[in-house]
């Protein structure tokens, strides 16, 4: 794997394209989270808008605070009312508060690659995976993918009031399986998750599970399907060692079947074990993109320094 | 474009061209309307299972459990009977007030609950939206399906009450099915409209209940609107008579009751056309309105 990807880097784009077709193209992607957004804001196509917007907002907030201090003699209700009425004309421009999570990231992933995504907390790792999966709309830029990429998140919502078995069926159907397929896979999924090792937990509601058990079940459900482009978010960090070994084996298996695998993890060891290329994100920008050893070395230096 | 990122592996300036050469498509792009409906159809099992799961999870922590599916509409009707039937005496001029009231309350509750749960269908399932890929219309439709289960139970209760009041089953009762189907279509459109409304801000969830309550008082659920608003101009009366909730409630009363003012034989034909028109209009407009924002759900 490693030598092929190095070759792709050394030789030109054209040759790389012949050897292995691209599966994911991310082209100058910007992602902006809107908090308490008004419907009027943010249809703009222009990039770089986010920062200017943030600055304008900060200024507006300061102004508001000053005004508030001046009028602080009056009641809270009247202030709230003024805030409400004052905001109606201003919000057209502001569109609520925003978080510019991804700032112009570009890269191309090729078939057969396993790509690790690293960076400190809040650097936009999970966000970029969501964007590739088409779950987060882009503010500017584009993501092109082969087929429908799947995101294996350990945070995927399951229903706490329902039994594990019921959640397995529900998860399978949500991934587009037919009921027959879902019922056929149920036993395997529960066995793989290992939740029944400590008694008959699969028939208990999920609120009775420990957090590790719930995470294992989620991973087991999501990995039950084969994917073209597969993205795994911190999945290896969950569960005990026994389950970790099992899930690493499953990921290798999925990688064989899938075109491209992305792995977000804080564990440099699991990145080293499974990936041949690494993207390093820091506060929404791509710092480095290259072979695993090179990037991890620079990253470790950065984190220790 | 702000160039904040250092990008070593930059695709061709014309990456769209590269993508096109290898048959890649834009991730998360909204599919065409026909394709969207096809995908929605693919997820029909998910809708069914999700609705079943949600509604069975609803009362799992209550001691009376599933009994609440029957108790909730019954208590609802009982409260209205106590206040409007006994205290305020709106029953004057209505034969068999109990059947009249219970039918109205149950039918209107179906619409009201679909709207109030539709508003929260997107904002309440943010985790699911950010984790999995499926046509978002699945969520409001799931809420409609949940309410359909509730109305099915309510209809059994309703029929028992109506029979107990001396309205025995006849062929007219078969009309219950088309009435419910049309109301279901109408509600689906409404739920999708509400879902998009509630997806961006939670304001809609605050003001919609008031609109719905005003709608209920104007729909002749608790009294004959014609009697109460006898002094109003004719166009107001016509409007109150032709609005969707009144149409569906009246149709249901005509189907089930055999008293002097509500019998199958008094049913004017244009009411069915109105019921059909409202259903199709609501479904079409609601669906398209929801679909047009498909890519936006999950942003905030």
Give the closest of B53, B57, B130 to A135, CB-based.
Answer: B130
Query: Residue A196: pLDDT above 80?
Result: yes
Which residue does chain B place closest to A109, by CA atoms? B9
Q: What is the DSSP letter of A186?
A: H
Query: Residue B2: pLDDT above 60?
Result: no
> What average pLDDT does the segment B6-26 reach?
64
CB contact under 8 A, B130 and A33: no
ipTM field: 0.71
Identify the residue with better confidence: A243 or B49. Answer: B49
**Looking at beta carbons, which residues of chain A come within 8 Å of B1?**
28, 46-48, 104, 140
> Which B residues, 115 through 174, put their C-beta within 8 Å of a C-beta on chain A?
125, 127-134
Give the closest of A108, A149, A179 to B11, CB-based.
Answer: A108
**Looking at beta carbons, which residues of chain B come within 8 Å of A30?**
2
Query: Residue A224: pLDDT above 60?
Result: yes
What span, in angstroms and rounded, lies between the C-alpha atoms of B139 and B128? 10
pLDDT at residue B143, as a whole number: 94
- Split at pLDDT 50, 70, 90, the class of A18 is low
B/e letters for B207-246, b = 16+ CB within 10 Å, e = fewer, are ebeeebeebbebbbbbbbbeebeeeeeeeeeeebbebbbb
By the 8 A CB rule, do B127 and A157 touch?
A: yes
> What average pLDDT does the segment A76-91 reach?
50
> Nearest CA of chain A to the CA of B127: how many Å?
5
Which residue does chain A place closest to B124, by CA atoms? A157
> Nearest CA of chain A to the CA of B142: how many Å?
12
Task: Single out the residue of B179, B198, B59 nearest to residue B122, CA to CA.
Answer: B198
By the 8 A CB rule, do A258 and A229 touch?
A: yes
Can you give chain B as a three-state secondary structure string?
A: CCCCCCCCCCCCCCHHHHHHHCCCEECCCCCCHHHHHHHHHHCHHHHHHHHHHHHHHHCCCCCCHHHHHHHHHHHHHHHHHHHHHHHCCCCCCCCCHHHHHHHHHHHHHHHHHHHHHHHHHHHCCHHHHHHCCCCCCHHHHHHHHHHHHHHHHHHHHHHHHHHHCCCCCCHHHHHHHHHHHHHHHHHHHHHHHHHHHHHHCCHHHHHHHHHHHHHHHCCCCCCCHHHHCCCCCHHHHHHHHHCHHHHHHHHHHHHHCCCCCCCHHHCCCHHHHHHHHHHHHHHHHHHHHHHCCHHHCCCC
- Split at pLDDT 50, 70, 90, the class of A86 is very low
pLDDT at residue A41, as a whole number: 39
By the 8 A CB rule, do A204 and A164 touch?
A: yes
- Mean per-residue pLDDT over chain B, rounded: 84
**Looking at beta carbons, which residues of chain B come within 8 Å of A155?**
127, 131
Tell whether B266 is within 8 A of chain A (Cβ). Answer: no
**Tens digits of per-residue pLDDT, B126-147?**
777 877 778 899 999 999 999 9
What span, in angstroms and rounded, lies between the C-alpha atoms of B268 and A77? 53
By the 8 A CB rule, do A292 and A277 touch?
A: yes
Identify the residue with better confidence: A288 or A240. Answer: A288
**Looking at beta carbons, which residues of chain A come within 8 Å of B133?**
133-135, 148, 150-151
**Tens digits of per-residue pLDDT, B171-223?**
888 889 999 999 999 999 999 999 999 987 778 888 999 999 999 988 888 87
Interface test with B, best of A17, A134, A207, A214 (most B CBs within 10 A): A134
pLDDT at residue B60, as a whole number: 74
CB contact under 8 A, B42 and A176: yes
By the 8 A CB rule, do A231 and A199 touch?
A: no
> What average pLDDT does the segment A37-60 reach?
45
B/e letters for A112-138, b = 16+ CB within 10 Å, e = fewer, are bbbbbbbbeeebbbbbbbbbbbbbbbb
**Tens digits of per-residue pLDDT, B51-88?**
988 887 777 777 787 788 888 888 988 888 888 778 87
For the four alpha carbons of B115, B119, B121 and B124, in that order, the dihedral sign comes to: negative
**Looking at beta carbons, which residues of chain B come within 8 Å of A138?**
28
| Cβ-Cβ contacts under 8 Å for B177 (sequence gap 6 or more) | none
Give the closest of A130, A175, A286 to B6, CB-based.
Answer: A286
**Tens digits of per-residue pLDDT, A112-162?**
888 999 988 888 888 898 888 887 878 888 888 887 787 776 555 577 778
- Mean per-residue pLDDT over chain A, rounded: 74
């Amino acid at each position: 794997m490693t030598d092929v990807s190095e070759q792709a880097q050394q030789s030109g784009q054209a040759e790389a394209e012949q050897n292995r077709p691209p599966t994911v193209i991310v082209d100058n992607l910007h992602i902006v989270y809107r908090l308490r957004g008004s419907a009027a804001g943010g249809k703009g196509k222009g990039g770089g808008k986010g920062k200017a917007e943030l600055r304008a907002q900060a200024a507006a907030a300061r102004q508001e605070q000053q005004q508030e201090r001046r009028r602080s003699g009056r009641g809270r209700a009247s202030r709230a009312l003024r805030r409400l009425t004052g905001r109606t004309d201003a919000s057209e421009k502001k569109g609520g508060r925003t978080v510019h999570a991804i700032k112009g990231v570009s890269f191309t992933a090729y078939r057969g690659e396993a790509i690790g995504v690293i960076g400190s907390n809040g650097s936009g790792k999970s966000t970029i995976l969501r964007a590739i999966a088409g779950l987060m709309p882009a503010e500017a830029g584009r993501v092109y993918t082969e087929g429908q990429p799947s995101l294996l998140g350990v945070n995927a919502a399951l229903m706490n009031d329902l039994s594990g078995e019921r959640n397995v069926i529900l998860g399978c159907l949500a991934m587009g399986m037919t009921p027959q397929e879902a019922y056929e896979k149920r036993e395997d999924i529960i066995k793989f998750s290992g939740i029944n090792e400590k008694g008959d937990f699969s028939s208990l509601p999920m609120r009775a599970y420990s957090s590790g058990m719930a995470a294992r079940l989620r991973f087991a459900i999501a990995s039950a399907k084969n994917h073209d482009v597969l993205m795994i978010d911190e999945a290896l960090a969950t569960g005990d060692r026994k389950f970790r070994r099992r899930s690493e084996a499953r990921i290798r298996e999925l990688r064989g079947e899938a075109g491209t695998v992305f792995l977000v993890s804080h564990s440099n060891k699991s990145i080293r074990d499974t990936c041949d290329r690494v993207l390093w994100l820091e506060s929404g920008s791509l710092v480095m993109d290259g072979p695993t050893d090179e990037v991890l070395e620079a990253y470790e230096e950065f984190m220790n320094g | 474009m702000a160039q904040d990122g250092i990008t070593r592996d930059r695709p061709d300036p014309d990456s769209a061209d590269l993508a096109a050469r290898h048959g890649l498509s834009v991730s998360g792009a909204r599919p065409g309307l026909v394709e969207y409906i096809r995908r929605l159809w693919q997820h029909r099992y998910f809708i069914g299972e999700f609705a079943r799961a949600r509604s069975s999870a609803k009362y799992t922590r209550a001691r009376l459990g599933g009994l609440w599916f029957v108790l909730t509409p019954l208590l609802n009707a009982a409260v209205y009977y106590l206040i409007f039937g006994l205290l305020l005496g709106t029953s004057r001029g209505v034969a068999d007030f109990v059947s009249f009231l219970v039918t109205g309350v149950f039918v209107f509750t179906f619409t009201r609950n679909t709207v109030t749960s539709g508003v929260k269908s997107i904002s309440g399932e943010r985790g699911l939206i950010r984790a999995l890929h499926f046509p978002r219309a699945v969520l409001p439709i799931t809420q409609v399906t949940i309410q359909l289960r509730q109305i099915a139970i309510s209809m059994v209760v309703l029929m028992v009450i109506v029979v107990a009041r001396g309205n025995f089953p006849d062929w007219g009762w078969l009309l219950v099915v088309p009435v419910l189907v049309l109301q279901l279509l109408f509600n689906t459109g409404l739920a999708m409209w509400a879902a998009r409304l509630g997806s961006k801000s939670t304001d809609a969830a605050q003001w919609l209940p008031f609109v719905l309550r005003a709608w209920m008082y104007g729909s002749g659920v608790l009294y004959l609107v014609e009697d109460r608003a006898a002094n109003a101009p004719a166009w107001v009366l016509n409007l109150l008579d032709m609005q969707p909730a009144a149409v569906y409630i009246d149709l249901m009363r005509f189907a089930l009751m055999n008293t002097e003012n509500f019998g199958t034989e008094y049913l004017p034909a244009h009411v069915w056309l109105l019921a059909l028109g409202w259903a199709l209009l609501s479904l079409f407009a609601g669906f398209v309105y929801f679909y047009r924002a498909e890519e936006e759900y999950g942003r905030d």
